[in-house]
Protein backbone atom coordinates (compact mmCIF):
# COMPACT_ATOMS: atom_id res chain seq x y z
CA UNK A 1 0.00 0.00 0.00
CA UNK A 2 1.07 3.61 -0.50
CA UNK A 3 2.55 5.55 2.34
CA UNK A 4 -0.13 7.81 3.84
CA UNK A 5 1.78 9.61 6.62
CA UNK A 6 5.38 10.63 7.18
CA UNK A 7 5.52 10.28 10.93
CA UNK A 8 3.00 8.75 13.30
CA UNK A 9 3.12 9.29 17.05
CA UNK A 10 1.38 6.75 19.27
CA UNK A 11 0.52 8.14 22.69
CA UNK A 12 -0.07 5.04 24.82
CA UNK A 13 1.60 2.03 23.22
CA UNK A 14 -0.65 -0.78 24.47
CA UNK A 15 -2.84 -3.40 22.82
CA UNK A 16 -4.59 -1.03 20.40
CA UNK A 17 -1.79 1.48 19.79
CA UNK A 18 0.76 -1.32 19.45
CA UNK A 19 -1.40 -3.28 17.01
CA UNK A 20 -1.93 -0.14 14.89
CA UNK A 21 1.82 0.46 14.78
CA UNK A 22 2.59 -3.14 13.83
CA UNK A 23 0.11 -3.20 10.98
CA UNK A 24 0.99 0.31 9.74
CA UNK A 25 4.62 -0.76 9.48
CA UNK A 26 3.77 -4.07 7.82
CA UNK A 27 1.72 -2.25 5.18
CA UNK A 28 4.12 0.66 4.75
CA UNK A 29 1.41 3.17 5.66
CA UNK A 30 3.83 5.37 7.64
CA UNK A 31 7.53 6.08 7.41
CA UNK A 32 8.41 6.59 11.05
CA UNK A 33 6.70 5.61 14.31
CA UNK A 34 7.43 7.37 17.58
CA UNK A 35 5.99 6.33 20.93
CA UNK A 36 5.06 8.21 24.07
CA UNK A 37 3.76 6.74 27.33
CA UNK A 38 3.82 6.60 31.09
CA UNK A 39 6.31 3.81 31.67
CA UNK A 40 9.80 3.57 30.22
CA UNK A 41 9.75 -0.22 30.58
CA UNK A 42 6.76 -0.61 28.27
CA UNK A 43 8.28 1.78 25.71
CA UNK A 44 11.58 -0.11 25.82
CA UNK A 45 9.81 -3.35 25.11
CA UNK A 46 7.84 -1.65 22.27
CA UNK A 47 11.16 -0.65 20.71
CA UNK A 48 12.71 -4.09 21.18
CA UNK A 49 9.62 -5.77 19.72
CA UNK A 50 10.01 -3.50 16.67
CA UNK A 51 6.60 -1.92 17.25
CA UNK A 52 7.93 1.65 17.39
CA UNK A 53 11.19 3.14 16.08
CA UNK A 54 11.88 5.30 19.11
CA UNK A 55 10.21 7.14 21.95
CA UNK A 56 10.42 10.51 23.69
CA UNK A 57 9.94 11.39 27.34
CA UNK A 58 8.31 14.76 26.66
CA UNK A 59 4.98 14.78 24.82
CA UNK A 60 5.75 17.82 22.66
CA UNK A 61 9.00 16.21 21.51
CA UNK A 62 7.16 13.00 20.63
CA UNK A 63 4.62 14.77 18.39
CA UNK A 64 7.16 17.16 16.82
CA UNK A 65 6.78 16.94 13.04
CA UNK A 66 4.14 14.19 13.13
CA UNK A 67 1.32 14.33 10.62
CA UNK A 68 -0.65 11.65 12.49
CA UNK A 69 -1.00 11.54 16.27
CA UNK A 70 -2.91 8.60 17.74
CA UNK A 71 -4.10 9.01 21.32
CA UNK A 72 -4.57 5.53 22.79
CA UNK A 73 -4.91 6.40 26.46
CA UNK A 74 -7.88 6.24 28.86
CA UNK A 75 -10.65 8.73 27.97
CA UNK A 76 -10.03 11.37 30.64
CA UNK A 77 -6.34 11.44 29.83
CA UNK A 78 -7.14 11.71 26.11
CA UNK A 79 -9.23 14.82 26.74
CA UNK A 80 -6.27 16.53 28.46
CA UNK A 81 -3.81 15.55 25.76
CA UNK A 82 -6.05 16.57 22.87
CA UNK A 83 -6.78 20.01 24.34
CA UNK A 84 -3.03 20.54 24.81
CA UNK A 85 -2.08 19.41 21.31
CA UNK A 86 -4.78 21.06 19.19
CA UNK A 87 -3.15 24.50 19.29
CA UNK A 88 0.44 23.24 19.35
CA UNK A 89 0.39 21.22 16.13
CA UNK A 90 0.06 22.59 12.62
CA UNK A 91 -2.93 22.40 10.30
CA UNK A 92 -1.56 19.45 8.34
CA UNK A 93 -1.64 17.23 11.40
CA UNK A 94 -4.49 14.83 12.17
CA UNK A 95 -5.04 13.89 15.78
CA UNK A 96 -7.25 10.88 16.42
CA UNK A 97 -8.05 8.54 19.29
CA UNK A 98 -9.28 4.98 19.76
CA UNK A 99 -11.51 5.25 22.83
CA UNK A 100 -14.92 3.70 23.49
CA UNK A 101 -16.60 7.02 24.32
CA UNK A 102 -16.69 9.72 21.66
CA UNK A 103 -18.97 12.72 22.38
CA UNK A 104 -16.92 14.09 25.32
CA UNK A 105 -13.68 13.78 23.42
CA UNK A 106 -14.99 15.29 20.19
CA UNK A 107 -16.41 18.22 22.20
CA UNK A 108 -12.85 19.34 23.00
CA UNK A 109 -12.24 19.95 19.30
CA UNK A 110 -15.75 21.25 18.63
CA UNK A 111 -15.41 23.90 21.34
CA UNK A 112 -11.77 24.75 20.75
CA UNK A 113 -11.26 28.28 19.35
CA UNK A 114 -7.52 28.16 18.72
CA UNK A 115 -7.09 24.73 17.14
CA UNK A 116 -4.61 24.45 14.28
CA UNK A 117 -4.59 20.69 13.93
CA UNK A 118 -7.73 18.64 13.31
CA UNK A 119 -9.14 16.05 15.65
CA UNK A 120 -11.30 13.18 14.36
CA UNK A 121 -12.65 10.68 16.84
CA UNK A 122 -11.99 7.02 16.05
CA UNK A 123 -12.98 3.74 17.61
CA UNK A 124 -11.85 0.35 16.35
CA UNK A 125 -14.40 -2.16 17.64
CA UNK A 126 -11.80 -4.79 18.32
CA UNK A 127 -9.84 -5.87 21.32
CA UNK A 128 -9.31 -8.71 23.71
CA UNK A 129 -9.42 -8.86 27.49
CA UNK A 130 -5.61 -8.69 27.45
CA UNK A 131 -3.73 -5.42 27.46
CA UNK A 132 -0.20 -4.09 26.95
CA UNK A 133 2.10 -3.93 23.94
CA UNK A 134 3.08 -7.62 24.34
CA UNK A 135 -0.54 -8.55 23.59
CA UNK A 136 -0.64 -6.44 20.40
CA UNK A 137 -0.71 -8.04 16.94
CA UNK A 138 -0.96 -6.73 13.39
CA UNK A 139 -4.18 -8.51 12.38
CA UNK A 140 -6.25 -7.23 15.31
CA UNK A 141 -8.44 -5.02 13.11
CA UNK A 142 -9.11 -7.46 10.28
CA UNK A 143 -12.81 -8.14 9.76
CA UNK A 144 -13.63 -5.52 12.38
CA UNK A 145 -15.38 -2.21 12.03
CA UNK A 146 -13.68 1.06 12.92
CA UNK A 147 -16.10 3.89 13.57
CA UNK A 148 -14.95 7.44 12.82
CA UNK A 149 -16.97 10.32 14.26
CA UNK A 150 -16.05 13.45 12.26
CA UNK A 151 -17.99 16.68 12.78
CA UNK A 152 -18.80 19.63 10.47
CA UNK A 153 -15.61 21.38 11.46
CA UNK A 154 -13.48 18.58 9.96
CA UNK A 155 -12.12 18.90 6.42
CA UNK A 156 -13.13 16.30 3.86
CA UNK A 157 -9.49 15.66 3.03
CA UNK A 158 -8.56 14.83 6.64
CA UNK A 159 -11.55 12.49 6.99
CA UNK A 160 -10.56 10.76 3.75
CA UNK A 161 -6.92 10.36 4.83
CA UNK A 162 -7.84 8.85 8.19
CA UNK A 163 -10.43 6.60 6.59
CA UNK A 164 -7.85 5.25 4.14
CA UNK A 165 -5.42 4.71 6.99
CA UNK A 166 -7.92 2.52 8.86
CA UNK A 167 -8.79 0.61 5.69
CA UNK A 168 -5.03 0.08 5.29
CA UNK A 169 -4.98 -1.35 8.83
CA UNK A 170 -7.47 -3.95 7.66
CA UNK A 171 -10.77 -2.73 9.05
CA UNK A 172 -14.06 -1.68 7.54
CA UNK A 173 -14.77 1.98 8.25
CA UNK A 174 -18.11 3.53 9.14
CA UNK A 175 -18.87 7.16 9.95
CA UNK A 176 -21.24 7.98 12.80
CA UNK A 177 -22.38 10.98 14.77
CA UNK A 178 -20.47 10.96 18.15
CA UNK A 179 -23.65 10.81 20.28
CA UNK A 180 -25.10 8.03 18.17
CA UNK A 181 -21.82 6.13 18.51
CA UNK A 182 -21.97 6.42 22.30
CA UNK A 183 -25.53 5.11 22.52
CA UNK A 184 -24.81 2.19 20.20
CA UNK A 185 -21.59 1.25 22.00
CA UNK A 186 -23.40 1.51 25.30
CA UNK A 187 -25.81 -1.20 24.12
CA UNK A 188 -23.44 -3.58 22.39
CA UNK A 189 -20.36 -3.23 24.57
CA UNK A 190 -20.66 -1.16 27.75
CA UNK A 191 -23.91 -2.78 28.93
CA UNK A 192 -22.58 -6.33 28.37
CA UNK A 193 -19.50 -5.47 30.45
CA UNK A 194 -21.59 -4.05 33.29
CA UNK A 195 -23.88 -7.10 33.18
CA UNK A 196 -20.94 -9.53 33.12
CA UNK A 197 -19.30 -7.85 36.13
CA UNK A 198 -22.63 -7.90 38.03
CA UNK A 199 -23.23 -11.54 37.14
CA UNK A 200 -19.80 -12.70 38.28
CA UNK A 201 -20.21 -10.84 41.56
CA UNK A 202 -23.67 -12.39 42.05
CA UNK A 203 -22.31 -15.88 41.43
CA UNK A 204 -19.36 -15.28 43.77
CA UNK A 205 -21.88 -14.62 46.56
CA UNK A 206 -23.00 -18.28 46.23
CA UNK A 207 -20.98 -21.51 46.43
CA UNK A 208 -21.35 -22.76 42.91
CA UNK A 209 -18.58 -21.23 40.85
CA UNK A 210 -16.33 -24.31 41.00
CA UNK A 211 -18.98 -26.24 39.04
CA UNK A 212 -19.13 -23.68 36.24
CA UNK A 213 -18.25 -24.85 32.71
CA UNK A 214 -17.70 -23.59 29.18
CA UNK A 215 -20.91 -21.59 28.82
CA UNK A 216 -20.11 -19.62 31.94
CA UNK A 217 -16.53 -19.12 30.79
CA UNK A 218 -17.57 -17.58 27.47
CA UNK A 219 -20.36 -15.61 29.03
CA UNK A 220 -18.09 -13.99 31.59
CA UNK A 221 -14.94 -13.58 29.48
CA UNK A 222 -15.48 -9.81 29.33
CA UNK A 223 -15.60 -9.64 33.14
CA UNK A 224 -11.86 -10.27 33.02
CA UNK A 225 -11.37 -6.96 31.19
CA UNK A 226 -9.39 -4.09 32.70
CA UNK A 227 -11.52 -2.75 35.61
CA UNK A 228 -9.80 0.64 35.56
CA UNK A 229 -10.64 1.24 31.93
CA UNK A 230 -14.21 0.05 32.34
CA UNK A 231 -15.02 2.06 35.44
CA UNK A 232 -13.80 5.13 33.58
CA UNK A 233 -15.86 4.33 30.47
CA UNK A 234 -18.98 3.91 32.63
CA UNK A 235 -18.55 7.36 34.13
CA UNK A 236 -17.66 9.00 30.81
CA UNK A 237 -20.64 7.48 29.02
CA UNK A 238 -22.94 7.72 32.02
CA UNK A 239 -26.22 8.88 30.43
CA UNK A 240 -26.17 6.35 27.59
CA UNK A 241 -25.19 3.49 29.92
CA UNK A 242 -27.87 4.28 32.48
CA UNK A 243 -30.34 4.27 29.61
CA UNK A 244 -29.10 0.88 28.36
CA UNK A 245 -29.22 -0.55 31.88
CA UNK A 246 -32.83 0.61 32.21
CA UNK A 247 -33.88 -1.13 28.98
CA UNK A 248 -32.06 -4.27 30.07
CA UNK A 249 -33.61 -4.19 33.54
CA UNK A 250 -37.10 -3.86 32.04
CA UNK A 251 -36.46 -6.95 29.94
CA UNK A 252 -35.09 -8.88 32.91
CA UNK A 253 -38.09 -7.88 35.03
CA UNK A 254 -40.48 -9.12 32.35
CA UNK A 255 -38.72 -12.49 32.31
CA UNK A 256 -38.69 -12.62 36.10
CA UNK A 257 -42.45 -11.88 36.25
CA UNK A 258 -43.20 -14.59 33.70
CA UNK A 259 -41.19 -17.11 35.75
CA UNK A 260 -43.01 -16.03 38.90
CA UNK A 261 -46.36 -16.59 37.15
CA UNK A 262 -45.20 -19.88 35.60
CA UNK A 263 -46.17 -18.47 32.19
CA UNK A 264 -44.11 -20.90 30.13
CA UNK A 265 -45.59 -19.92 26.76
CA UNK A 266 -44.81 -16.20 27.04
CA UNK A 267 -41.37 -17.05 28.41
CA UNK A 268 -40.79 -19.25 25.40
CA UNK A 269 -41.81 -16.36 23.11
CA UNK A 270 -39.35 -13.99 24.80
CA UNK A 271 -36.49 -16.48 24.62
CA UNK A 272 -37.37 -17.33 21.04
CA UNK A 273 -37.25 -13.71 19.86
CA UNK A 274 -33.87 -13.29 21.54
CA UNK A 275 -32.56 -16.45 19.85
CA UNK A 276 -33.99 -15.44 16.46
CA UNK A 277 -32.57 -11.93 16.75
CA UNK A 278 -29.13 -13.21 17.65
CA UNK A 279 -29.13 -15.93 14.99
CA UNK A 280 -30.14 -13.40 12.28
CA UNK A 281 -27.43 -10.99 13.41
CA UNK A 282 -24.83 -13.77 13.31
CA UNK A 283 -25.91 -14.95 9.85
CA UNK A 284 -25.78 -11.40 8.47
CA UNK A 285 -22.35 -10.93 10.07
CA UNK A 286 -20.95 -14.16 8.68
CA UNK A 287 -22.16 -13.33 5.17
CA UNK A 288 -20.01 -10.20 5.14
Listed in sequence order, the DSSP H helices in 112-190 are 156-168, 178-185
* Beta-bridge mates of residue 96: 70, 120
Helices (runs of H) and strands (runs of E) counted in the chain: 12, 8
Task: State the minimum distance, in angstroms, from the CB of residue 142 to a second copy.
Answer: 12
Query: 168 to each of 42, 234, 244, how far by Cα in Å?
Result: 26, 31, 33
Residue 59, exposed/middle/buried by CB under 10 A (0-12, 13-18, 19+)? middle
Q: Which is nearer to a second copy, 155 or 273 (CB)?
A: 273
Task: State the minimum distance, in angstroms, from the CB of residue 131 to a second copy.
Answer: 12
d(CA 255, CA 30): 52
Task: State the minimum distance, in angstroms, from the CB of residue 30 to a second copy.
Answer: 25
Strand 172-175 relative to strand 30-36, pairing: unpaired
Task: State the minimum distance, in angstroms, from the CB of residue 60 to a second copy.
Answer: 29
d(CA 174, CA 43): 31
Task: State the minimum distance, in angstroms, from the CB of residue 90 to a second copy.
Answer: 34
Q: Which is nearer to a second copy, 151 or 199 (CB)?
A: 199
Q: Which is nearer to a second copy, 93 or 236 (CB)?
A: 236
Give the number of C-alpha atoms closer than 13 A to the C-alpha of residue 43, restricted to the C-beta side. Answer: 18
Q: Which is nearer to a second copy, 87 or 256 (CB)?
A: 256
Judge contact between 285 and 188, C-beta under 8 A: no
Judge contact between 29 and 3, C-beta under 8 A: yes
Q: Which is nearer to a second copy, 114 or 265 (CB)?
A: 265
Task: State the minimum distance, in angstroms, from the CB of residue 188 to a second copy.
Answer: 4
Judge contact between 267 and 259, C-beta under 8 A: yes
Judge contact between 4 and 96, C-beta under 8 A: no
Q: Which is nearer to a second copy, 9 or 73 (CB)?
A: 73
Task: State the minimum distance, in angstroms, from the CB of residue 32 to a second copy.
Answer: 31
Q: Which is nearer to a second copy, 157 or 204 (CB)?
A: 204
Amino acid sequence: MTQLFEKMTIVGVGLIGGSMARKAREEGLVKEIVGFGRTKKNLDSAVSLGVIDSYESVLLDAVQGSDLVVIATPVEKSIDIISTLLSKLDSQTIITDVGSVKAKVVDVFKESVNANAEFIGGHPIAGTESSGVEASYASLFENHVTILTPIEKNSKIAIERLKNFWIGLGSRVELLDPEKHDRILSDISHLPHVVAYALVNAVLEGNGISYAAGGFKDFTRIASSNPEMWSEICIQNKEAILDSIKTFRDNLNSISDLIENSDENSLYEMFRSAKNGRDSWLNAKEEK
